[in-house]
Amino acid sequence: MKSNRRTFLKATLLSTSAIVNGIAGAATVCEPNTKTGSSRGKLSKQQFNMCGYAAPRLDKVRIGLIGLGARGAAALRRLTLIENVEVVALCDQYEDRVEKCQQSLEQQKLPRAKGYSGNKEIWKSVCEHPDVDLVYIVTPWACHASMAIHAMECGKHAATEVPAAKTIDECWQLVETSERTRKHCMMLENCCYDFFELQVLNMAQQGFFGEIIHGEGSYVHHNSPGYLKKDGYAEMWRLKEETRNGNIYPTHGMGPICQVMNINRGDKMEYMVSMQSADFLMAAQVNQLASQDPFYRPFAGKSYRGTVNTTVVRTFKGRTIVSQHDVASPRPYSRAYLVNGTKATAQKWPLPARISTGHDWLQEKKMKQLEEKYTPEIVKRVGEMAKKVGGHGGMDFIMDWRLIYCLRHGLPLDQDVYDAASWSSIAPLSEQSVANRSASVDIPDFTRGAWKTNAPVDLALKG
C-alpha cells in the first residue's frame, strides 16, 4: 500500500506540469515515468474486476473536454450530435481555442460551457468540476495517463485518446485507479468501430472463422511530413516522440485484433519480440531542415526511431499477432487488418476488404450477402448517420455514440481499463525488446488472472 501511494503521489506531482492543448501539445512539460518494466501486479490481487462492470446509469452524460486542437474540436462536434449529452466544460491552454469551441456550441444553439484556459495546470479544474460525469481527453500522449488518473480520483469516468499510457508503470496506475474508484477508463480506440472490423468481430463471435489462429494489425501512414511542420504540433511534441525506438503507436492495429481473439476475455497476450530497421529517413530529413532553418537546429544531430518496426506477439493459447509501424517511408496507408481462422480469413488492406474460405477470395455477390447477414446492430442503428458526420469515415462517431450509449444504459464498456493498459503496453515493451537485440519480453497480465473467466465483448444494444 505504501508503494502504491508513493506511485500515485508521483503521478499527481507529474500531472501538475501537464500542458493542455489538443493534438498540438508540448511533450516537454508532460513527461511520463520512464520505466519500461514493472513488478506491479505479480504479488497483488485484483481489487475489483472492471471487465463487465456496469456503472450506475446516467440519464444525461455531462462531459468535460480537455484539449481543443484539431481532434478535440472534431470530438466536440460529434459529441454534441449525440442525444442526452451536455458539454459542460471546455479546456485548452490557449484561450482562443476555447472561444472558438464556445462559438461552435452557440452556432448549434447550445449553451456555452464553462471555459478553462490560460495556464498549464488548468485541466485539473475540469476533473474537479462538480457537474462533469465524463472527462474526455484529447491531448498529447504524455498527458493521457496523468489526466485520466486524476479524473478517476475526482470521481469521473475517463475517456482518453490513444495511447492511454506511455510506460508500464502508468498502465498499472490506470488499472489500479480504475479498480479502486470503480470508474471507467476507456481508451478511445476508434479503429475497433470501423465498419468491416465490427462485421468481422460479429462473424468471429458467431463462429464463422472457426478457431482464430493469427492476426495482423499495423499502422503504416506516411505522416512524417506533418511531424516536421513548424505549425503542426506545438513545441514539436510529435517529432520528439520519434526519438523512441519501438512500435510507439500500436493500438490502431492491435485493438481490433485483440477483440477478435478475446484478449483479456478468454486469452491473454503472453510475450512478444520486436525488431526494428535502421533510420533511413527521419534524421536525414531533420538535419537537412536544420541546415536551412535555425528553428530545426535543436532537433538535429539526434537519433530517431528506425523507419520500420515489426512486433510479434504470442498469446497464452498459442495465437500470434504481427504489428508493424512505419510513418516515414512513402507507403500507402494501411492498418494491415487480417484475421486468420481455421475456417476462413478476412483481410482489409489493401482495399477492398475481402474474405476467403479457401484458396480464393469470395466474389462480390457473396461478400454482399455476408455483409447483410453479419452487419451488427450498432451499425444498422447509427452507421448511416456516422458516415454523414464523418471522422475517419464514421468510425469516430460510432465510437462516441457507443460510449455514451453504454453510460446511459448502465452497460459495460466495449473497451475497459485492461484493454487500455494491455494494448498501450506494446509500445514500451517493444522499446525494451528493441534495446535488447529483439529479446523476448513478457507482457503483464493486467487482469491478474481474471482473463480466464471474463466474458467476450458484447456489442448488443439493450435499450
Given 142, 169, 189, which residue is the final one in a domain?
189
Q: Is residue 182 part of a domain?
A: yes
> Is 422 found in the same domain as 314?
yes
Do 47 and 125 belong to one domain?
yes
**359 and 439 fall within a common domain:** yes
**Same domain assignment for residues 158 and 35:** yes
Same domain, 202 and 70: no
Instruction: Specify the number of domains making up the chain.
Output: 2
Same domain membership, residue 341 and residue 259: yes
Tell me if residue 323 falls in helix, strand or coil: strand
**Cα–Cα distance measured from residue 273 to residue 310, given in angstroms and rounded to the nearest whole number:** 9
Specify whether 251 is located in the same domain as 151: no
Last residue of a domain, one of 156, 189, 222: 189
Last residue of a domain, one of 136, 161, 189: 189
Same domain, 9 and 124: yes
Residue 330's alpha-carbon distances to 279, 296, 309, 350, in angstroms, are 14, 22, 15, 15
Answer yes or no: is 123 within a domain.
yes
Alpha-carbon span 124 to 127, nearest angstrom: 5
Same domain, 57 and 180: yes
Query: Among candidates 386, 388, 411, 416, which has minimal Cα distance to 401?
Result: 386
The CA distance from 269 to 246, in Å, is: 18
Per-residue pLDDT of the chain (463 residues; tens, 9 = 90+): 334 444 433 343 333 333 333 333 333 345 544 443 444 655 479 999 999 999 999 999 999 999 999 999 999 999 999 999 999 999 999 999 999 999 999 999 999 999 999 998 999 999 999 999 999 999 999 999 999 999 999 999 999 999 999 999 999 999 999 999 999 999 999 999 999 999 999 999 999 999 999 999 999 999 999 999 998 887 899 999 999 999 999 999 999 999 999 999 999 999 999 999 999 999 999 999 999 999 999 999 999 999 999 999 999 999 999 999 999 999 999 999 999 999 999 999 999 999 999 999 999 999 999 999 999 999 999 999 999 998 899 999 999 999 999 999 999 999 999 999 999 999 999 999 999 999 999 999 999 999 999 999 999 998 6
Q: Which domain holds residue 76?
A: 2-189
Q: Considering the domain boundaries, does residue 308 fall inside one?
A: yes
Does some domain include residue 107?
A: yes
CATH number of the domain where residue 145 is located: 3.40.50.720
Based on the fold, state whether residues 52 and 174 are members of the same structural domain.
Answer: yes
Distance of CA 390 to the CA centre of its chain: 19
Same domain for 112 and 230, yes or no, is: no
In a domain, 254, yes or no: yes
Residue 406 lies in a domain: no
Whether residue 295 sits in one domain with residue 149: no
pTM of the model: 0.92
Answer yes or no: is 412 within a domain: no
Distance CA 461, CA 455 (A): 16
CA-based nearest residue to 227, from 277, 276, 282, 190: 282
Q: Is residue 25 part of a domain?
A: yes
Q: Distance between CA atoms of 248 and 429, rounded to whole angstroms?
A: 10
CATH number of the structural domain spanning residue 256: 3.30.360.10
Residue by residue, DSSP assigns 423-456 as HHHHHHHHHHHHHTTT--EEPP-TTTTGGGTPPP
Angle between helices 2-15 and 168-181 (to 10 degrees): 110
